[in-house]
A = this chain, B = another copy of it.
């Protein structure tokens, strides 16, 4: 198990919903998506596995793709989300909602005074943005 240091960084399975979320707004190709993710808060993605995830999403019919050779440089595989992908994204949103509650529970136990009822307590310390 090697529990010496925590996965500083998100569980990798977060990649799938975040990809779908971005594709809901704009059609995009893999390379582009990876760049967007780093600005989203996900630092460092394994490029190789990222492309594999995209191809798998296509196999599962959550996205579709087609080659774009119009622009300069190497051809890009442009992805678009499907109806199925959209409802799959909604499932994830529900799951993340649960997970947020879990994290709130964690911090309630970890640092109970952050959740104290009097606003005075909250003002005394920095991290009062934890619970939102």
Contact = CB atoms under 8 A, between A and B. Distances in A.
Contacts of A2: 60
A93 B130 CA distance: 11
Contact of A105 (B41, B92, B93, B127): B41
Main secondary structure of the interface of A (DSSP, over half): helix
A17 interface: yes
B5 A91 contact: yes
A23 to B, nearest CB: 11
A103 B100 contact: yes
A98 interface: yes
A1 B53 contact: yes
A35 interface: no
Nearest to A60: B3
Contacts of A107: 93, 96
A67 interface: no
17 contacts: A1-B52, A1-B56, A2-B60, A4-B60, A6-B95, A7-B95, A8-B91, A8-B98, A10-B98, A10-B99, A18-B106, A40-B102, A41-B105, A93-B111, A96-B103, A96-B106, A96-B107
> Top 7 closest A-B pairs, CB basis?
A11-B11, A1-B56, A41-B102, A6-B95, A6-B92, A3-B60, A8-B95
